């Protein structure tokens, strides 16, 4: 899995991350979603490594990266804290600027990284995500019915109890669909109570902390200072919830916003890896087409 990529555990100022990286060329940081680990990129990363140095960490609280000990320390689980991890990681690897793509929960960390550190992120790709503030402000009966887990996961104790009673039944996933090694890594995460609690911390921070960081930015008129490309899964409910996804993002970007839907289910890196790698590679390699 991942071919010649190096797998390391890297101690950073605030946390320790498990990281896989390989390839050569301009750096690209890929951030996974919930309940996956960095191994979800196992088909995408080698394709992109033909053109880029590809860096795939387990986010703080996920996989085999460290997780905050106190589940009520929402700041430690926040996307702002995870954004600092991203910057520290790329500093450690020697990269001053980099391309960035995040999927699902990873998209929120990617967004926060680009907002908080505008001089570091050259281009941003958001996969199956809108700002947390927008998601909550647009919440209606349809959102609450389909994405009820946002609010359930933000509680304490009961989500862990429900998930850990039968993690694989709760989350789904098979070796045939995910690949042997990726599935094994996924199972290792969802069967570990500490990791489950760490993953849920991402949702708790979203409700208690992250949405207010978004609100502060909007009230201050801050926007993304790098090109933005948005991709979403057509065979999931994302487009139904947000209709015109690009319109949601336009107020947040100082650049024109582009993007498209991909015909796959939610876990696009596993279900449509060739198309996703092509989209990201084309976008990151393209120059001269984005004008302020």
pLDDT score, position 288: 44
pTM summary value: 0.97
Residues sharing a CB contact under 8 Å with residue 279, sequence separation 6 or more, in sequence order? 229, 231, 260, 262
Q: What is the pLDDT of residues 154-176, one digit of tens each?
A: 999 999 999 999 999 999 999 99
Is residue 34 one of the residues assigned to a domain? yes
pLDDT score, position 151: 97
Give me the mean pLDDT over the 215-241 stretch: 96
Domain CATH for 129: 3.40.50.1820
Q: Closest by alpha carbon to 261, among 240, 288, 287?
A: 240
Is residue 290 one of the residues assigned to a domain? no
Q: What is the pLDDT of residues 129-162, one digit of tens each?
A: 999 999 999 999 999 999 999 999 999 999 999 9
Is residue 1 one of the residues assigned to a domain? no
Give me the mean pLDDT over the 35-54 stretch: 98
Helix H or strand E encompassing 100? strand 98-103
pLDDT at 291 over 50: no
Q: Report whether 56 contacts 38 (CB < 8 A).
A: yes
pLDDT score, position 46: 98
Q: Closest by alpha carbon to 64, among 149, 207, 167, 184?
A: 184
Give me the mean pLDDT over the 116-128 stretch: 98
Kindly report the average pLDDT of the chain as a whole number. Answer: 96
Ranking 95-99, 226-230, 240-244 by mean pLDDT, the lowest is: 240-244
Q: What is the pLDDT of residues 193-224, one digit of tens each?
A: 999 999 999 999 999 999 999 999 999 999 99
Give me the mean pLDDT over the 27-44 stretch: 98
- Catalytic annotation on 104? yes
Percent of the chain exceeding pLDDT 90 equals: 96
The domain tally of the chain equals 1
Q: Using CA atoms, how far apart are residues 85 and 81, in angstroms rounded to an integer?
A: 6
pLDDT score, position 290: 33
Helix H or strand E encompassing 7? strand 6-11
Distance between alpha carbon 276 and the CA centroid of its chain, in Å? 14
Is residue 291 one of the residues assigned to a domain? no
pLDDT score, position 239: 87
- Catalytic annotation on 34? no
Give me the mean pLDDT over the 273-288 stretch: 91
Is residue 292 one of the residues assigned to a domain? no
Q: Using CA atoms, how far apart are residues 122 and 43, in angstroms rounded to an integer?
A: 24
Question: Where in the sequence is the domain holding 126, given as residue range(s)?
Answer: 6-285
Give me the mean pLDDT over the 107-133 stretch: 98
Catalytically annotated residue among 85, 104, 202, 214: 104
Is residue 126 one of the residues assigned to a domain? yes
Torsion angles phi and psi, residue 127, rounded to 5: -120, 120
**Band of residue 243 on the pLDDT scale cut at 50, 70, 90:** confident
pLDDT score, position 286: 87
């Amino acid at each position: 899995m991942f071919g010649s990529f190096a797998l390391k555990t890297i101690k950073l100022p605030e946390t320790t991350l498990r990281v896989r990286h390989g390839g050569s060329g301009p750096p690209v940081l890929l951030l996974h979603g919930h309940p996956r680990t960095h191994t979800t990129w196992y088909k995408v990363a080698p394709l992109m490594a033909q053109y880029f140095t590809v860096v795939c960490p387990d986010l703080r609280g996920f996989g085999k990266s460290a997780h905050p000990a106190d589940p009520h320390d929402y700041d430690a689980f926040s996307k702002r804290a995870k954004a600092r991890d991203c910057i520290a990681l790329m500093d450690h690897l020697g990269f001053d600027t980099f391309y960035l793509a995040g999927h699902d929960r990873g998209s929120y960390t990617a967004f926060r990284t680009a907002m908080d550190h505008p001089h570091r992120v050259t281009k941003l790709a958001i996969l199956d995500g809108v700002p947390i503030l927008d998601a909550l402000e647009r919440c209606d009966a349809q959102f609450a019915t389909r994405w009820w887990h946002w609010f359930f996961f933000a509680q304490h104790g009961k989500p862990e109890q429900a998930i850990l009673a039968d993690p694989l039944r709760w989350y789904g996933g098979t070796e045939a669909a995910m690949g042997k090694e990726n599935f094994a890594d996924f199972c290792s995460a969802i069967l570990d109570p500490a990791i489950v609690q760490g993953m849920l911390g991402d949702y708790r921070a979203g409700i208690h902390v992250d949405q207010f960081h978004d609100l502060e930015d909007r009230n201050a008129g801050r926007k993304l200072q790098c090109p933005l490309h948005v991709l979403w899964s057509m065979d999931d409910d994302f487009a139904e919830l947000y209709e015109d996804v690009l319109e949601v993002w336009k107020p947040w970007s100082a650049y024109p916003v582009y993007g498209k839907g991909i015909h796959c289910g939610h876990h696009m890196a596993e279900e449509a890896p060739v198309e996703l790698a092509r989209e990201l590679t084309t976008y990151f390699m393209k120059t001269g087409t984005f004008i302020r």
